[in-house]
């Protein structure tokens, strides 16, 4: 017996053939060599033969060389491929076949196959049995593939639902933050004070939707005005709530007309008695005498006021020890007084002004701020605030806001 005879005898399709028919069939086969990676035929091509594998492995592929390419099956020695084109009335290949490894094949033409069926009609049943087994396997694989895809779709749907819920929650939070911002801005003074011979300016820009900075103007009598700037050590909603609480306490306390230092100490005691979040706040609170231009203040760890004299000289006020509110029962405060000369100005601010940084992470710093103020001698308070805010924006460039920025200015008219 020859090698083709032995291999054909092991092919399930030819199990029922007698030995003489196998010998005849072996003599009609044409051997084909197929390098690894090469295509035997492509999906959609016309076909008039099928192949029995002698050596190597072939893979059955649909949608070859496309993003949807899919390997349907693999065939090895003793198995056959290409039979579907012989059964298809139009002889069209329903899938592509390529060599997974180098392979040797025997080719049977459609004429030889039809003649074999006529000589052995039972072979048609064997063909149907083999094809039925293959179709059953393919159907099972398709079901498993669809099941897997359905699971993936269900997972994707669950993820989509979760993303939708997150989006709805994000929109709700954004709206709540916007409402919180509106509430926070509403507690700030709606109008600037109107004291004869003085101009006032104020600006606040939170780094987030809500922030921990605040300022306030508290009318005390026809001649005196309380001025406050505060900065909570923190950002976001907790800082905003703590800021609002401190502002309300300070306004109520200052309205009783007590000196700035005593007012801050009383607010500190009330904050400590309430406990709650571990937050603290720096504050500068002072009382301005509208007739004399004198500003008497107490500083609880806040930034030093900046003075602009009529001749363009600028300087920070003297530094004394001062501690933030909300930390210690025995509060140490920096108590100072300064008189605005005619044509002079005073700027109170939060550290978001000097801490603004550029793309090189360099701080704006107080020296640059003082240099800018020197060019603004004699300007009204609103112009001072606008110029300093513009300095922050220009210096920062495309860098995001690092901290809230609050500015309050007072200017005294020239004599």
Give the model confidence (pLDDT) of 275-319 as tens digits.
755 789 999 999 999 999 999 999 999 999 999 999 999 999 999
Contacts of 262 (CB under 8 A, 6+ apart): none
Q: What is the model's pLDDT at position 133?
A: 73
Residue 227 sits in the same domain as residue 375: yes
Q: CATH number, domain at 342?
A: 3.60.40.10
Classify residue 173: in a domain, yes or no. Answer: no
Mean pLDDT, all residues of the chain = 86
Q: What is the model's pLDDT at position 7?
A: 72
Residue where a domain stops, chosen among 120, 140, 162:
120
Classify residue 134: in a domain, yes or no. Answer: no
Residue where a domain stops, chosen among 96, 120, 144:
120
CA distance 407 to 35: 79
Q: What is the pLDDT along the chain (415 residues), one digit of tens a residue?
A: 556 677 777 777 777 788 888 888 878 888 899 999 999 988 888 888 888 888 899 999 988 888 888 888 888 887 888 877 666 666 788 889 999 999 998 888 888 888 888 888 887 777 777 777 777 776 777 677 778 888 888 888 888 888 787 777 766 655 655 655 666 666 678 899 989 999 999 998 877 656 678 899 999 999 999 999 999 887 667 777 888 889 899 999 998 989 999 999 999 999 998 775 578 999 999 999 999 999 999 999 999 999 999 999 999 999 999 999 999 999 999 999 999 999 999 999 999 999 999 999 999 999 999 999 999 999 999 999 999 999 999 999 988 887 889 999 999 998 7
Q: What is the model's pLDDT at position 177?
A: 54
What is the helix (H) or strand (E) element at residue 130, kind and residue range? Answer: helix 122-186
Residue 204 sits in the same domain as residue 347: yes
Over pLDDT 90: what percentage of the chain? 46
CA distance 128 to 147: 28
Give the model confidence (pLDDT) of 7-51 as tens digits.
777 777 777 788 888 888 878 888 899 999 999 988 888 888 888
Output phi, psi for 71, to 5 deg: -85, 120
Q: HEC states along 345-363?
A: EEEEECCCCCCCECCCCCE
Contacts of 205 (CB under 8 A, 6+ apart): 352, 389, 401, 404, 405, 406
Q: What order do you get walking across the sheet with 306-308 strand by strand?
A: 198-205, 405-412, 345-349, 306-308, 314-316
Classify residue 157: in a domain, yes or no. Answer: no
Structural domain boundaries, residue 111? 3-120
Q: Around Cβ 201, how many Cβ atoms within 10 Å?
A: 22
Helix (H, G, I), strand (E, B) or coil at 71: strand
| Closest-CA residue to 234 (of 216, 214, 215, 213) | 213
Residue 232 sits in the same domain as residue 111: no
Q: What is the model's pLDDT at position 292?
A: 94
Residue 209 sits in the same domain as residue 353: yes
CA distance 256 to 177: 33
């Amino acid at each position: 017996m020859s090698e083709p005879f032995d291999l054909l005898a092991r092919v399930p399709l030819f199990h029922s053939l007698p030995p003489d028919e196998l010998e005849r069939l072996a003599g009609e086969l044409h051997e084909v060599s197929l390098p690894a990676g090469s295509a035997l035929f492509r999906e959609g091509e016309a076909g008039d033969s099928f192949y029995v594998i002698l050596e190597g492995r072939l893979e059955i592929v649909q949608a070859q060389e496309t993003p949807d390419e899919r390997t349907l099956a693999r065939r090895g020695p003793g198995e056959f491929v290409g039979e579907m084109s012989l059964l298809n009335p139009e002889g069209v290949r329903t899938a592509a076949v390529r060599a997974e490894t180098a392979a040797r094949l025997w080719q049977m033409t459609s004429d030889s196959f039809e003649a074999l069926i006529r000589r052995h009609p039972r072979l048609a049943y064997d063909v149907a049995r083999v094809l039925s087994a293959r179709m059953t396997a393919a159907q099972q694989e398709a079901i498993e593939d669809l099941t897997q895809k359905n699971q993936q779709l269900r997972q994707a749907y669950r993820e989509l639902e979760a993303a939708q819920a997150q989006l709805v929650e994000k929109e709700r939070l954004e709206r709540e933050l916007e409402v919180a911002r509106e509430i926070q801005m509403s507690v700030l003074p709606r109008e600037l004070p109107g004291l004869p011979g003085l101009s006032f300016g104020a600006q606040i820009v939170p780094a987030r939707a809500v922030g921990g900075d605040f300022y306030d103007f508290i009318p005390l009598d026809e001649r005196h005005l309380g001025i406050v700037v505060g900065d909570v050590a923190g950002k976001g909603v907790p800082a905003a709530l703590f800021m609002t609480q401190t502002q309300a306490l300070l306004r109520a306390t200052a309205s009783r007309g007590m000196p700035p230092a005593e007012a801050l100490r009383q607010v500190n005691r009330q904050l400590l008695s309430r406990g709650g979040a571990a937050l603290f706040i720096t504050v500068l609170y002072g009382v301005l005498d509208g007739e004399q231009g004198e500003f008497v203040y107490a500083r609880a760890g806040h930034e030093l006021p900046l003075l602009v004299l009529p001749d363009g000289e600028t300087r920070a006020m003297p530094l004394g020890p001062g501690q933030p509110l909300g930390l210690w029962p025995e509060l140490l405060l920096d108590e100072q007084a300064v008189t605005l000369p005619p044509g002079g100005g005073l700027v109170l601010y939060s550290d978001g002004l000097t801490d603004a940084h550029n793309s090189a992470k360099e701080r704006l710093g107080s020296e640059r701020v003082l240099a800018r103020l020197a060019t603004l001698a004699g300007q009204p308070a609103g112009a001072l605030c606008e110029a300093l805010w513009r300095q922050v924006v220009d210096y920062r460039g495309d860098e995001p806001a690092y901290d809230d920025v609050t500015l309050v200015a007072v200017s005294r008219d020239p004599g």
